[in-house]
Amino acid sequence: MSSELLDALDRLEKEKGISQDVIVEAIEAALVSAYKRNFNQAQNVRTDFNLTTGTMHVYARKEVVDEVFDSRLEIAIEEARKINPNYEIGDIVEIEVTPKEFGRIAAQTAKQVVTQRVREAERGIIYEEFVDREDDIMTGIVQRKDNRYVYVSLGKTEALLPVHEQMQNEQYNHNDRMKVYITKVEKTTKGPQIFISRSHPNLLKRLFELEVPEIYEGIVEIKSVAREAGDRSKVSVWSDNPDVDPVGSCVGPKGSRVQAVVDELNGEKIDIVKFSKDPVEFVANALSPSKVLDVIVNEEEKSTVVIVPDYQLSLAIGKRGQNARLAAKLTNWKIDIKSESDARELGIYPREEPLFSPNLTFNDEDTIISEKDQRVEEEHPVAQGDAHDFAELGENGEVMEHEQTEKDTDA
């Protein structure tokens, strides 16, 4: 076999990471195929290829029998014992049958089959590498797009970003760099197919894990994510350590941590709220920035009736119902929002012993109120509240908290 092929095989091992065993197996399979197609002097053959010297041999494997019916598969015991007197009936004898003219044909066939096997091996290596990265994020570069997919390079292979996993506020231009979430890796005849997402809630979760050391170290935990990709998201966070502020940890100094996530998601607004095992408190937190007067819980139906001041009704519901919808997804509770006046007419508010008493105390010295959008821009670390620990990143990148006034209108 030519030194060129040996050099090529050596490069394949070094550059593609394909082991010598895989290469030798591919070559020996090629030699068997070439022998059977061009000579067919034996049915059951084995080939031996020396990767160091490039030499090859073909061996016919024949069963030792009393009476021969097919000389291509069998050998008489008398003939077998001429080779080795220890052979018995049923043993397998290997006889070299390498044709003199086999070298040229074998080399050509070997190159073709080796190329195919190497391609399959590369696909297998890529599959094994990426199947372990499902539910993870990677940085990709946009290559091209059509009506079905955006094709994103992940280095060794190309991933598919389906239309339903794309963000509506993104264009995906050639050479755009972005982080993507790997949703699924499939093995196909054409190689592994890797499906990715920019809209999956777990993309947001993984981005916070990258930006917030406390999450990566397990000090702060993301309990749930509700996302309307490209527009707004809510994230609930929790820490078992009473000395750790989970909301403040995710926001970061001057909002730097959450801002990095927002930048990666091209301006998607993110609300960070404190998780609670108490559904009353959790639902109230999730509806931030709205003030909540009371939460009535139906455990059997896993539903709640939330009562808010009349002037807060539109804020609690949000534009096109977004605030209430995201809060319901975040908490996994049904939420029915009623104004204070409607609740009074229904006789459900006030209750003699309300289960919920909101605590909306913020440090006045840490916050200022903007009447334009009824939000509080944070100049210092996140202020501490009990029932409504909440932070939001606004359109201009400022971290905001919400203190309730009768000027509040719409989220």
Which segments in the chain show pLDDT lower than 70? 1-6, 8, 16, 40-42, 110, 353-411
Query: What is the Cα–Cα distance from 73 to 31, expressed in whole angstroms?
Result: 18
Burial of 62 from C-beta contacts in 10 A (0-12 / 13-18 / 19+): buried
Same domain, residue pair 270 and 345: yes
Same domain, 170 and 252: no
Same domain for 298 and 365, yes or no, is yes
Instruction: Indicate whether 163 and 224 sit together in one domain.
Output: no
Is the domain of 221 the same as that of 344?
A: yes
Residue 58 lies in a domain: yes
User: Which amino acid is located at 58 in the chain?
Assistant: V
Last residue of a domain, one of 66, 98, 125: 125
State the Cα angle at 206 between 198 and 226, rounded to 5°. 65
361 with 325, same domain: the answer is yes
Find out whether 307 and 290 touch, Cβ atoms under 8 Å. Answer: no
- Does residue 183 sit in the same domain as residue 258? no
C-alpha separations of 248 from 186, 268, 285, 378 in Å: 39, 19, 15, 11
Q: What is the pLDDT of residues 16-35, one digit of tens each?
A: 677 777 777 877 887 887 78
12 token code pair? 């394949």
Strand partners, 308: 339
Please check whether residues 325 and 221 belong to one and the same domain.
Answer: yes
CATH code, 32: 3.30.1480.10
Q: Are strands 158-162 and 191-197 parallel, antiparallel or unpaired?
A: parallel
Q: How high is the pLDDT of residue 386? A: 36
* pLDDT given for residue 367 in this prediction: 29
Domain end: 71, 91, 125, which one? 125
User: Are 215 and 180 contacting, i.e. CB atoms less than 8 angstroms apart?
Assistant: no
Phi-psi region of 258 (alpha: psi -120 to 50; beta: other; left: phi over 0): alpha
Work out how many domains the chain is built from and give that number. Answer: 3
Asked if 63 and 173 sit in the same domain, the reply is no
Nearest-angstrom CA–CA distance, 81 and 138: 64
Note whether residue 210 is domain-resident.
Answer: yes
> Per-residue pLDDT tens for 66-112?
999 988 889 999 999 999 999 999 999 999 888 877 777 777 776 77
Domain that holds residue 66: 3-125
| Together in a domain, 167 and 149 | yes
| Same domain (yes/no): 255, 283 | yes
In this prediction the pTM is 0.70
